[in-house]
Amino acid sequence: MIIRNEVSRSLIPKFLKSVGERRKNDLPIISLGLGEPDFDVPSSIKDALIQVLKTSKLGYSDPMGLLSLRQKISEKLNNENHINSSPENIIITSGSKQAFTLVCMVMLNPGDEVIIINPSFVSYIPQILISEPASYIKVINIRKSDFSFSIQDIENQISSRTKLLIINSPNNPTGYVLNSSLLQNIYALASERNLYIISDEVYEKLVFSKHHHSSIGSFEKAPKRVITINSLSKSHAMPGWGLGYACFPADLRQRLLALQKHINSNTSTLIQEALDRTFFIDNQYLDEYNARLLKRAEIINKICTDENRISLVQPDAGFYAFLNISETNIDSDTFCSLLIQETGVALTPGIVFGEFWDDHVRISFASPEETLGIGLQYLTQFTRKL
Ligand SMILES: Cc1ncc(COP(=O)(O)O)c(C=O)c1O
């Protein structure tokens, strides 16, 4: 198998070395790096899991996923996202990452081009290159001043070999939310130039500003060129539990089925059964969580406004803030490496989101207020000293 260098190379050698040294010396780490929500999994899901274990004989499921759970996912997509789907258009996967990879595997051929909007989730490029090592990635970088991009930016990158465009709104790492009219224009462009779109919507429930999440899949009568992927990792605090899904155009079904059947058999039947019993739980807990996320985003924004060496375009969603550290004149790997050596605070160097973003660092505010407060205090002390 050809594994391209981009898949395994480390872009942050200094930072990783510093993390390793701290761990070796048993020194504490204040982690503001991870994308794991800090609220607990809804108790009804835990109860359902125990119930399923006690009362059901579990075996393999349909490789595409339990029909009744696919029905519920389809109902949710129809009602909440206005995506006209049916259980036949749904595959349940081990997290949204697996959905993304399977879709790229069935869709991409050698020579195909994929457009990515950077900064983007760290796994997209490796996943594309694992799926089709002879594909090409074309990168659009959004504007640093306001995290915006235009339809023209996308259009400029399209060639006769472009097959696929990846969008991620709400976005990791910036926290932007694409508005409905831009999405509509993107959809029209994709139709005109015959592109597929993967829309990664894993942060759809964590919107804490006046913006609304819209699904680009809602602009078509039935899934035709948009593949919507999602998971319960962020909305239900279930990262690592492995429950994601994709809603795809009918012509991809047979190939997705074949891959899932032979690679994975099926997504964990235990988790699927538990989710099938609890899929429509009351998710009011998200209102409270989003209110906390907003407060945390405001605190970070205030600190960045007060400090003259870090700046921020305040996020509207998700739980990351993407800080501009260009005024420090230090690259992101060195910045994060020095920061953890001197203070124990771990952030994510911007370079992992694309070379153009080496003057940014990502802070995750999915951490209790106390941890976040200490982390921010150390961060400001550190930047003042630089
Ligand atoms: C944009 C984005 N997509 C996908 C994932 C992975 O999600 P899952 O746990 O569903 O595989 C993440 C995780 O951080 C993410 O930020």
94, 97, 201, 362: residue to mutate for ligand 1 pocket, most atoms within 8 A of CB? 97
Residue in 184, 234, 162 with CA at minimum distance from that of residue 204:
234
Question: If you take atom 13 of ligand 1, which residue's CA is the nearest one?
Answer: 35
pLDDT at 42 over 90: yes
User: What number of H helices and E strands is found in the chain?
Assistant: 13, 13
Taking the CB of residue 31, how many other CB atoms lie within 10 A of it? 17
Residues written for the chain: 386
With a pLDDT cut of 70, the percent of the chain lying above it is 100
> Closest ligand 1 atom, CA of 232?
10
363 and 300 Cβ atoms separated by less than 8 Å: yes
202 CA to centre of ligand 1 in angstroms? 6
**Distance of alpha carbon 96 from alpha carbon 61, whole angstroms:** 18
Per residue in 257-295, is it b (16+ CB within 10 Å) or e — as a string? Answer: bebbeeeeebbbbebbbbbbbbbeeeeeebeebbebbbe
28 CA to centre of ligand 1 in angstroms? 26
pLDDT at 9 over 90: no
**Distance of alpha carbon 363 from alpha carbon 319, whole angstroms:** 8
Amino acid at 280: F
Lining ligand 1 with CB less than 6 A are 35, 95-97, 121, 168, 172, 200, 202, 231, 233, 239, 244
pLDDT-derived band at 257 (thresholds 50, 70, 90) equals very high
**Distance of alpha carbon 12 from alpha carbon 339, whole angstroms:** 14
Q: What pLDDT, on the 0 to 100 scale, is given for residue 240?
A: 95
> Mean pLDDT throughout 30-40?
93
Q: What is the pLDDT of residues 352-366, one digit of tens each?
A: 999 999 999 999 999
Taking the CB of residue 33, how many other CB atoms lie within 10 A of it? 22
34, 73, 96: residue to mutate for ligand 1 pocket, most atoms within 8 A of CB? 96
CA 73 to chain centre: 19
With a pLDDT cut of 90, the percent of the chain lying above it is 95
**Distance of alpha carbon 77 from alpha carbon 293, whole angstroms:** 25
Residue with tokens 């930016």: 153
Checking DSSP bridges between strand 360-364 and strand 348-349, what pairing results, if any? Answer: antiparallel
135 and 113 Cβ atoms separated by less than 8 Å: yes
Query: Which residues share a beta bridge with 361?
Result: 323, 349
Q: What is the pLDDT of residues 281-329, one digit of tens each?
A: 998 999 999 999 999 999 999 999 998 899 999 999 999 999 999 999 9
Q: What is the pTM of this model?
A: 0.97
Q: What pLDDT, on the 0 to 100 scale, is given for residue 123?
A: 96
286 CA to centre of ligand 1 in angstroms? 18
103, 118, 202: residue to mutate for ligand 1 pocket, most atoms within 8 A of CB? 202
**Distance of alpha carbon 15 from alpha carbon 294, whole angstroms:** 29
> Mean pLDDT throughout 76-98?
97
Q: What is the pLDDT of residues 192-208, one digit of tens each?
A: 999 999 999 999 999 99
